[in-house]
Structure 1
Amino acid sequence: MPTGTIGLVITGWHHALHETDDPKNECSTGYTAGDYTNAEAQPDHAELRRKFGHPYSRGPNGELTNYSPMAVEDPIPPSELTTRTGYGLNLDGTADGKATPRTCAHAKFASPEGVQVDNQLARVVGCTKGWRKGGFSDAFYNEEIYTNPVNRILIEITGVDDERNDPQVEVAIYKGEDRLTRDPAGKYIPFLTQRIDARFPEYSTKLRGRIVDGVLITDPDPDATARLPIRWIAKVAERRIRDLQLRIPLAGSWPVAMLAGYEDNKIWWNSQKAHHIAMPAAQNSPPSQYRALMRYADGYPDPKTGQCTAISAAYRVETVRAFIAHPETPQQRTAAATMVHARCPCSDPAGLHGASAIPS
């Protein structure tokens, strides 16, 4: 039965990490040491804190680690992923991660199903406790997806003839403006109206795709960069992702609903440094994290330096069905105004207000 249009709203957003109950299965030395732990281990920490008055002013001239990550090196070696198993998509089209005109050489992950995939950002955050399942950063951000409409991301699939198999569909991603609603059990309520936020057309992305065995699969557009808004801990930023691809189950099975592509290094870091929390709960250390970002970046090399300017990233997303409401066009507004005027002439205010006309 043709459905025509399918609307989705994202209700959850997590780094696509392959995790087991024991982090040492993925990170041989356990979780990476956070900023505060590294500060205390720094030999000149007491002197720097006495001089500059802040525990994270760890640079020689009091530089904060999140804004000047190269000013200091962490005294505790960072823990990084040692597992070869991971989630992601094959973004570069190679089987071995060799360099191509738009990628740098890198080691791929093997998905649990044995598919070679790209997700180098997992190597940057995969041993950070805050971004793993149940971690502070992951939990805080996902609560803000619920509480703040800045994080409202809508997906609209049009031209759908069959939800199980359709060789050609159009997909649009928008910023929404409405809140999410949960039932008493905490589950998101589907099929509510979500309006597109017309104030931010820059957050609109168009993709082409298909539905295979009930799974939406989109094709990358190498000429487009998707921009997605973020609000996290009272800071507003955005993501910029090239070659954006979606794998979302609609009426079939897929290991995880996924959004993947090459995320711009500078934009990603700008959002991270703005959101860095000066407290042990964050469990990340900017000097080590920034170095890892530069080391593992594998997308879109700078033609002059050869340094890749983007990093392959995969996110596990959660969605519920929604009705996507488009803003009225000028023609629709004119037609609506004409209908109101036809029902209620301006000379008769009683028609507008439901009360008898005021006598002269």
Structure 2
Amino acid sequence: MKDMISHGLDRRVAAGLLAVGGMMAVGASAPQPQSFSFALTNIYVAAYEDEKACRALSLSSSDLFLKSLPPAEREKYGAPDKVQDLHKLMGQRLGFKMVPTGKVSGPNGSMAQLSDAEQDALRQKYSIPKGKGIVAFLGTRFAYDSCTNPDDFPFMQKGNEEYRGPIAYGIDLDRLANKDDYVSLDQKPGVDNQLIRAVGCTFSTRDFGTPKVADEVITSMSSPTLVELSGVDHPANDDDVTVRLYASASPLELSGAGKPLAWASLDVDPDRRFMAQVKGKIRNGELLTEPFDLRLRLREQIIDSYREVRQARIQAKIKPGEAIEGGIYGYHTLASIEDNYHQSTQVGANLTRMSCPALIKAVRRYADAFPDPKTGRNTAISSALRFKGVPVFLIKPQQVAQGVQQ
């Protein structure tokens, strides 16, 4: 595999020769089905720009902590230049912990593993409450704070603002008229997107969730999601295509200008947790899939997590040889959302000005699908994720290639 990776340029040349050879062999016969592959350069919760949609920005955990202080301390720590001091005080007062594990992160930024015994030893050594805290920072740290254990800090569950705008990204998932439905950007009614209702007024969503900003940001660069379309008779209109999703075992390649590099050769990760296959069709250059369940790897800086969407539908504009751009619409599981928040830790919450306890409470409140058979509580929330991607070559391990052929 390493030899294959080190000869990416050779593979691209070989692929080009194979494409030419294929064209020569076909000659004047009927066109053969084509395949197109893309690496998604970003996947994000999309926010429609509406200045009136939020009465105010949701409060962050540090905002809530500051409000809990006596007047003299509020005045002392309330100045913008005191924010680092405020974060330090919050950690000390609330007993937050961020301690080394003695481990190094795994290959390609993956999570290092700690046994239960190793975790218990860290709890005892650093006075972390029994059964609390998580392995974080790709396994190099063990953390206990308002993100890893949000239920331990109930006063931080306040201050989340509901998104109140009439327009949102998304589609009609349930085919039912509901008072909570939004209108799409092209004025179609019935849009189901309770996730934006829950998180749409946070600083990070309002600032980084708009396409004009988010489209310039690369996410999950160390392990991007790969999309493969096969059986394509015509890239503009085809009633029967196959769509496969994978995680990449190779990091996204960048140009000298820091932009995603098209036609890079990326290795498919053989981890079947991050594989999915679904039928779809292409109408006027737009891909439309049937509903399916998917799990996407989310590996970003300090996070090695996942996005899990049930009854997902992909709608995307396809420009063969150029780009793919569209959305994933479905029911995002609370388990995967909460895992993202847990792994962000208080460090991530401070950087993005959010309150994990408040957001987790809001997501649970607005969850609208897949009730747990025992508790009756919904375990997933309607959502809309946007993405963009560039064309790439896929290099499949033998077991993946064999699975595709079956």
TM-score, normalised via structure 1 length: 0.75
Query: Which structure's CA Rg is the greater one?
Result: 1
Is the counterpart of residue 175 in structure 1 residue 205 in structure 2? Answer: no
Is the counterpart of residue 122 in structure 1 residue 196 in structure 2? Answer: yes
Of 231, 238, 242 in structure 2, the residue corresponding to residue 159 of structure 1 is 231
Is the counterpart of residue 145 in structure 1 residue 217 in structure 2? Answer: no
Deviation at 1:201, TM superposition (A): 1.6
Distance 1:50 1:38, change over 3 A: closer
1:291-306 residue pairs with structure 2 within 5 A? Answer: 291-306=361-376
**Which residue of the partner structure matches residue 316 of structure 1?**
386
**Which residue of the partner structure matches residue 268 of structure 1?**
337
Q: 1:124-148 deviations in whole A, cap 9, x for unaligned? A: 221111233447xx97x954523x1
Of 64, 69, 92 in structure 1, the residue corresponding to residue 174 of structure 2 is 92
User: Distance in 1 between the 2:95 and 2:204 partners?
Assistant: 18
Deviation at 1:276, TM superposition (A): 3.1
Aligned residues: 305
Distance 1:44 1:232, change over 3 A: farther
Indicate conservation of the 8 Å contact 1:39/1:55, yes or no: no
**Which residue of the partner structure matches residue 353 of structure 1?**
none
Indicate conservation of the 8 Å contact 2:145/2:346, yes or no: no
Of 25, 47, 50 in structure 1, the residue corresponding to residue 52 of structure 2 is 25
Deviation at 1:178, TM superposition (A): 1.9
Task: Specify every segment of 5 or more residues in structure 2 that has no aligned partner in the other structure, as ranges.
Answer: 1-30, 74-87, 97-128, 133-143
Indicate conservation of the 8 Å contact 1:217/1:245, yes or no: yes
Distance 1:207 1:35, change over 3 A: same
Of 146, 159, 169 in structure 2, the residue corresponding to residue 65 of structure 1 is 146
Percent of residue pairs bearing the same amino acid type: 25
User: Distance in 1 between the 2:172 and 2:204 partners?
Assistant: 26
Q: Which amino acid aligns with 1:267?
A: S
1:126-275 residue pairs with structure 2 within 5 A? Answer: 126-134=200-208, 142-146=217-221, 148-149=222-223, 152-198=224-270, 200-221=271-292, 225-251=293-319, 257-275=326-344
Q: Which amino acid aligns with 1:35?
A: S
Is the counterpart of residue 38 in structure 1 residue 81 in structure 2? Answer: no
User: Distance in 2 between the 1:331 and 1:274 partners?
Assistant: 33
Q: 1:2-41 deviations in whole A, cap 9, x for unaligned? A: 5511111100122121124xxx422122x11111111111
Indicate conservation of the 8 Å contact 1:164/1:212, yes or no: yes
Indicate conservation of the 8 Å contact 1:247/1:259, yes or no: yes
Distance 1:56 1:162, change over 3 A: farther
Q: Which amino acid aligns with 2:388?
A: E
Q: 1:40-86 deviations in whole A, cap 9, x for unaligned? A: 1125797xx989824575xxx99832234344134863222110100
Distance 1:40 1:56, change over 3 A: farther
Question: Equivalent residue of 1:284, what SS?
Answer: coil
Task: Specify every segment of 5 or more residues in structure 1 that has no aligned partner in the other structure, as ranges.
Answer: 98-105, 333-360
Q: Which amino acid aligns with 1:284?
A: M
Q: Which amino acid aligns with 2:167?
A: T
User: Distance in 1 between the 2:89 and 2:384 partners?
Assistant: 42
Indicate conservation of the 8 Å contact 1:213/1:251, yes or no: no
Q: 1:183-220 deviations in whole A, cap 9, x for unaligned? A: 3343322222222112x122110111100110111010
Distance 1:134 1:309, change over 3 A: closer
Q: Which amino acid aligns with 1:212?
A: R
Indicate conservation of the 8 Å contact 1:195/1:326, yes or no: yes
Root mean square deviation of aligned Cα = 3.4
Distance 1:39 1:216, change over 3 A: same
Indicate conservation of the 8 Å contact 2:149/2:342, yes or no: no
**Which residue of the partner structure matches residue 344 of structure 1?**
none
Question: Equivalent residue of 2:392, what SS?
Answer: strand
